[in-house]
Amino acid sequence: MRRVYFDNNATTPVDPLVLEAMKPFFLEDFGNASSIHGFGQRARAAMEQARRQVADLIGAQSQEIVFTSGGTESDNTALRGLAPYLRDRGNHIVTSSIEHPAILRTCEQLEKEGFEVTYVPAGKDGAIRLDVLEAAIKDRTILISIMYVNNETGTIQPLGRISELARSRKILLHTDAVQAVGKIPVDVKKLNVDLLSLSAHKLHGPKGIGVLYVRRGVRFNPLFLGGPHERNRRAGTENVPGIVGLGTACELAKQGLEDFEKRVRGLRDRLENTVLEQIPDSSVNGSRTERAPHVTNLSFRGTEGEALLISLDFQGIAVSTGSACSSGSLEPSHVLRAIGVPSDLIHGSIRFSLSRMNTTEDVDYLLEVLPKTVGRMREMSPLYKER
Amino acid sequence: MYSPTVRRLVAELPNQGRLPDSASATVDNPICGDVLELYVKTENGVITESCFQASGCPAVIAAGAAITIMVKGKPIAVARQIEVGHLIDFLEQLPAHKRHGAEMAVRALRMIIDN
């Protein structure tokens, strides 16, 4: 059976070149990057090379790159590291209702610790409401944290305008760019952000390694204590193989960015347009224009996302769903709910997220399987009637 | 999260469909909107055929399919003894928050038999 992977927003396969680059740092140059001997120094040199590769992809300087264990730690560090540090300037944080749980749960914790958080809503197009964000800013606002690309819909958030607002009010701006880096051009100077989170495993790097970009001059309380690693910003022996993998993944992403935009967008658009044409009662969630090129979030009325997911999985196709049933509770996707998707369509939602490793044949196979599978699910439903 | 049996039943949908000239019952779960229709045909006190229709999560679909398999060939009185636990055993476990799928299937069967 053919196996097709369309769940690249969850994680991506490691690029073979990334794996090859990592291998020597398990077996030969395995030293602790803090050690003075040759083993350590070779590891350190590779780590610094990777730091330059990451910086190069996002238009940063090497010393602005802090290695972490991944996107969640980067988000936690940005919020939990910065908020207490800036406490004497204010206690108000602005974020959005469509952020990743790494931001939302951290904000909830900060609220328990005495901070005030405003959650800016998003419109039907999946973009946050700029007017509400602007109105939410107070004299006590110390930080704005808005994601760059939404993980469920792929909607690109208007960061340029948000950074103008933040600058004019002298508020620090963090962005969770985990789903943006390697997929669309990301330049921290052009975006004018102070902090940015990224994760290796979303761009064909290994799991367990990420970055918090911290603009030069921005200070925060480190989450981990115990050593001078990462210029006293993140204690703990560096994950050198992971860091090398991330560096290589960033270099490959930079080389392939143009191809990604053209080829992956082409695949995604063909997938989406054909589905909308061939499957009645299907619809796109979020904007179709202000969107990263690799994601489409579709709803199939009269189906249940998780059942559809299992059925596709049996035919070798991996996707994900915003249905309540996949969440371990009866609560459906907070993102789709926040952008006003009706609950029956949230239940029947499937996210297809592509990568540069997907092919035309992958899309062809999906287009062969999906209409029949949706049809079968609807045939089984006592409720479904085609509109 | 789901056992291999649940996954297989959802993918293969055995006995999915409607059964004309049979006894049937429809149950729903107002909390999550799941709906299950169960059809049972009997001859001389024995269940000869059973089918289901479902709208909802994998648990209700798998439970609907499972109960049609479990009751086929059984005397009505024996089928009446099927409990939620038996169905969950057949499904090789359901997540705690998905137990309602098995409850709906057993409720539908009992509504048919008791009527």
Instruction: Quote ipTM for the complex.
Output: 0.94
Of all residues in chain A, the percent with pLDDT exceeding 70 is 98
Chain B closest-CA separation from residue A351 CA (Å) = 17
Chain A closest-CA separation from residue B51 CA (Å) = 11
Mean predicted confidence (pLDDT) in A305-321: 96
**pLDDT for the residue A339:** 94
**pLDDT tens track for A199-225:** 999 999 999 999 999 999 999 999 999
Report residue A385's pLDDT band, with 50, 70 and 90 as the boundaries: confident
**pLDDT for the residue B115:** 85
A107 is catalytic: no
Looking at the structure, give the CATH architecture of the domain made up of residues A16-252: 3-Layer(aba) Sandwich (3.40)
**pLDDT for the residue A325:** 58
CB contacts of B32 in chain A (<8 Å) are 324-325, 330
Lowest mean pLDDT among A157-161, A340-344, A361-365, B78-82: A340-344
* Interface contact B62, partner A, CB < 8 A: no
List the domain boundaries for chain A.
4-11+256-380, 16-252
Domain that holds residue B38: 4-114
CB contacts of B57 in chain A (<8 Å) are 304, 306-307, 323-325
**pLDDT for the residue A323:** 78
**pLDDT for the residue A238:** 96
Average pLDDT, chain A: 96
**pLDDT for the residue A52:** 98
**pLDDT tens track for A67-107:** 999 999 999 999 999 999 999 999 999 999 999 999 999 99
Chain B closest-CA separation from residue A177 CA (Å) = 29
Best of B7, B51, B61, B104 to disrupt the A interface by mutation (most A CBs within 10 Å)?
B61
Domain count, chain B: 1
Give me A313's structure tokens: 């999985």
**pLDDT for the residue A330:** 59
Cβ contacts of A216 within 8 Å, gap of 6 or more = A61, A63, A64
For the domain spanning A4-11+256-380, the CATH number is: 3.90.1150.10
Report residue A358's pLDDT band, with 50, 70 and 90 as the boundaries: very high
**pLDDT for the residue A329:** 56
Strands (E), chain A: 4-5, 65-68, 92-96, 116-120, 141-145, 172-176, 195-199, 210-214, 282-284, 295-300, 317-318, 320-321, 349-353
A381 with B37: Cβ contact below 8 A:
no
**pLDDT tens track for B36-77:** 999 999 999 999 999 999 999 999 999 999 999 999 999 999
Give me B32's structure tokens: 């999550």
> Is A331 a residue whose pLDDT tops 90?
no
B53 with A380: Cβ contact below 8 A:
yes
* Interface contact A344, partner B, CB < 8 A: yes
Residues B22, B14: Cα–Cα separation, whole Å: 18
Of A306, A379, A383, the CB nearest to B57: A306
> Is A142 a residue whose pLDDT tops 60?
yes
CB contacts of A380 in chain B (<8 Å) are 13, 16, 53-55, 61
Of B10, B16, B35, the CB nearest to A383: B35
* Interface contact B96, partner A, CB < 8 A: no
CB contacts of A302 in chain B (<8 Å) are 55
**pLDDT for the residue A328:** 56
CB contacts of A347 in chain B (<8 Å) are 33
CB contacts of A315 in chain B (<8 Å) are 11
Q: How far is CA A132 from CA A94, A247, B93, in A?
A: 10, 38, 46
> Is B33 a residue whose pLDDT tops 90?
no
The active-site residue, picked from A235, A257, A318, A325, is A325
Residues A229, A234: Cα–Cα separation, whole Å: 6
CATH classification of the domain holding B36: 3.90.1010.10
| Interface contacts (A, B; CB < 8 Å) | 66
Q: Helix or strand or coil: residue A172?
A: strand
> Is A324 a residue whose pLDDT tops 80?
no
Single pTM value for the model: 0.94
Q: Which residue from A265, A266, A277, A349 is spatially nearest to A306, judged by alpha carbons?
A: A349
Chain A closest-CA separation from residue B32 CA (Å) = 7
Query: Which is more confident, A329 or B42?
Result: B42
**pLDDT for the residue A262:** 97
Question: Position B75: which residue type?
Answer: P
> Is A387 a residue whose pLDDT tops 80?
no
